[in-house]
Structure 1
Amino acid sequence: MILTKCAVCATELGLSLGKKCGRCSTRYCGAECQKQHWESGGHDTLCKKIKKAGGAEQYNANEKYTAAVAVAAEACAADTKGQTCYICTQALHWKTKEGLVRMCACRGTAGFAHLSCLAEQAKLLNDEGEENNLSPEGRWRRWVTCSLCKQDYHGVVQCALGWACWKTYVGRPKTCRPRVWAMTVLGNGLGEAEQDEDALVVQEAELSTKRRVGESEYNILVAQSNLAITYENLERLDEALRLKRDVYTGFLKLFGEEHEQTLRAVNNYATSLVRLERFGEAKSLLRKTVHMVRRVLGESDETTLRFRSSYAAALCQDDCATLGDLREAMTTLEDAGRIARRVLGGAHPLTGAIERHLEWSRAALAAREDTKIK
């Protein structure tokens, strides 16, 4: 399902168009491309290997996972030097010889692990949760959350875990819920690694599948929210705004204004308003909700920190911002930055973003105060 293009000419095939190799299920737009791939594209030597791996989708997932692990281990190499995996206690994985990763909120010598060990642990914990009838949301969080610090992995580590999750469940029937949930994990992981074009393909397929299998309104809204964020990352700002507004309205009707998902949707909608420079609407929406977020989710929650960062951005990026707005933005970012560094760590993308925004707001305030003095 993630392979949506012809293997030869890259024509978009969606979820069902074109034809497949009868042996390995590699997808083509038609017989001409299939023939070309066999005769001169190397498929004659790969076909049996792909079939043995479980088919084209499984083979692709395996290859992508291996590449993602290498990227993640390289990105973490300086941080993990001289450490051992807290799961298997080895520096190099006994089978794959892969290096260690971290990219969570663990500090000191805690939290180092092999991606293969993290993936195996997540699968075991998810299977255990399925047997004990834990909620799907709780079970699947184990594919993205560190079991030690309880914070999400980020960047290329979350991306590699997304491919690990997908390769684990891709062989299930297409309407099987674990397979559909694995698409969610993969799509979000690709987004974390800023592979937004690939994330878009996965998330569009995920949303289509969830609608086809009759997923709950809640799960449909979650899929739409993830897709809207990818639209925004791809500069499809008007589409992102419309979809985020629909998601916010949907969660508001479903759960009320104080539910965690509604509050997240408020922030997502507000970030699009800021991106489109509709600062008045963004400030109005955030100002009436910011105290509720801090009360309901707590000061240390990642959503609260994102919310406060969005509020500060709406205050200080507006050309009509007053000195009071700039001072409030700076104070908000100083406080949020301290909390983010303590809870998420200095390497977390949100911590870095808050600190960059703080530096900008300080400069803007200083320039405004200097102009006023002159």
Structure 2
Amino acid sequence: MILTQCAVCATELGLSLGKKCGRCSTRYCGPACQVQHWKEGGHDNLCKKIKKAGGAEQYNANTKYTEAVAVAAEACAEDTKGQTCYICTQAVHWKTKEGLVRGCACRGTAGFAHVSCLAEQAKILFAEAEENNLHVKVKQARWDRWGRCSLCEQDYHGVVACALGWACWKTYVGRPEVHNAHISAMGQLGNCLGAAKHHEAALSVKETELSILRRVGAREDRMLVAQTNLAITYQGLGRFEEASRMIGDVYSGYLRLEGVEHEDTLRAALNYAISLVKLKRFEEAKALLRKMMPVARRVLGASHDYTLRMRWNYAETLYKDAGASLAGLREAVSTLEETEQTARRVLGGAHPITGGIEKGLQKARAALRAHEEAASGDVSSICGAVEAMTPGDA
């Protein structure tokens, strides 16, 4: 259940409070709001339409999906001009009339597609895995197509990820609440809303997902994933202390369950380090990253996004620290220069990770320049370097 508020007064209803319209399942805090919505809110005209679409949740998912696709196509319009979809080979989708998107690491003439085509591809692949009862790892690889490009094998980001999140949710919202695909689609939507920086909306989705998992007694590893995703949303909302405590517990959980070299543990270590940097606990973050960076490089490779982000955040612990040494600042700059080159080669210049590393490199260079000039007695550019070190940058 994603619709957790009264349709009239927005009172929070959680998963079970209030009442529903008997025809379309629109939720209300009580009879008064339901009557008001029918008489003054236009529900008398929408009710049959919502029911025909499959109920309030399905209708909401369909509407949000259509809106998200339009936003994504508009955002990608300049990049996709004159191109065609690599799946259906058309510039404009034959049925939906939507434009093209590209929000992965593909470059040149590769990777252009319609969200509808990407969604249909993912839907078919996962349906085949379900019907043939394929191995859980194969199912997961098929499921990953809801958020990962089949050409460059990198995750979609921003508004394209958001549109695919709504596509996933509208596909599986009709499954029973405890069905694995229903819960996974809810998690996918929450993560994609976060990718588009819709943190308030993501919070509601992720809290609902975690509540359902607790109620059905999900496995510990599944709970850890949901807790990680919720903590990342806390970070996006500036709730850094809550995020750090939760992510620290998740990291400890993965160490116990999977060991230090598992990909899930490495992801948890990265998230915990990021939370420590947000709290300016640089020495703790630095110690953790020095321990885990060699493991990530050995297990995942130097070009994996976890490895890149670990090195990026390690450099942040060096140049953001008010007591940074000259040697530390030089290490930060050299680390970011090398990491930026790798990210640009693997992910491309338009990817958020590449852009973030580039911004970090600019700040590290400014801090190094200010430190060197202060040491030599020339303070002419210190003010400019300090201004470049705006708080809160990731």
Distance in 2, matches of 1:126 and 1:351, equals 31
- CA distances 1:104-142 after superposition (whole Å, capped 9, x unpaired): 111111110000000000000111222241324323211
How much has 1:224 moved relative to structure 2? 0.5
Instruction: Tell me what 2:77 maps to.
Output: 77
Instruction: Tell me what 2:123 maps to.
Output: 123
Instruction: Tell me what 2:247 maps to.
Output: 244
TM-score normalised according to structure 2 size: 0.94
Q: What letter is aligned with 1:120?
A: E
Distance in 1, matches of 2:133 and 2:332, equals 46
- Where structure 2 has 5 or more consecutive residues not aligned to the other structure, the ranges are 378-394
4+ aligned runs moved over 3 Å, structure 1:
none
Q: What letter is aligned with 2:177?
A: K
Which residues of 2 match residues 206-225 of structure 1 at below 5 A? 206-225=209-228
The 8 Å contact of residues 313 and 357 in structure 1, kept in 2 or not, is answered as: yes
Instruction: Tell me what 1:134 maps to.
Output: 135
Distance in 2, matches of 1:137 and 1:103, equals 21
325, 343, 360: which one pairs with 2:363? 360
Instruction: Tell me what 1:304 maps to.
Output: 307
Percent identical residues:
68
Q: How many residues align?
A: 374
TM-score normalised according to structure 1 size: 0.99
- CA distances 1:315-353 after superposition (whole Å, capped 9, x unpaired): 111111111111111111111111111111111111100
Distance in 1, matches of 2:140 and 2:123, equals 14
Q: What letter is aligned with 2:308?
A: L
Distance in 2, matches of 1:251 and 1:129, equals 27
Change (3 A) 1:134 1:259: same
Note if 1:198 corresponds to 2:198: no
Q: What letter is aligned with 1:125?
A: L
How much has 1:289 moved relative to structure 2? 1.7
1:289 is paired with a residue whose SS is helix
1:282 is paired with a residue whose SS is helix
Instruction: Tell me what 2:385 maps to.
Output: none
Distance in 2, matches of 1:140 and 1:310, equals 29
Q: What letter is aligned with 1:81?
A: K
- CA distances 1:207-260 after superposition (whole Å, capped 9, x unpaired): 111222222211110110010000011011111011000100000000111111
Note if 1:265 corresponds to 2:275: no
Distance in 2, matches of 1:263 and 1:321, equals 26
Instruction: Tell me what 1:285 maps to.
Output: 288
- CA distances 1:61-106 after superposition (whole Å, capped 9, x unpaired): 0000000000000000000000000000000000010000011111
Decide which moves more: 44-53 or 211-220: 211-220
- CA distances 1:350-372 after superposition (whole Å, capped 9, x unpaired): 11000000000001101101111
Q: What letter is aligned with 1:238?
A: E
2:47 is paired with a residue whose SS is helix
Distance in 2, matches of 1:15 and 1:332, equals 47
The 8 Å contact of residues 140 and 181 in structure 1, kept in 2 or not, is answered as: no
The 8 Å contact of residues 21 and 34 in structure 1, kept in 2 or not, is answered as: yes
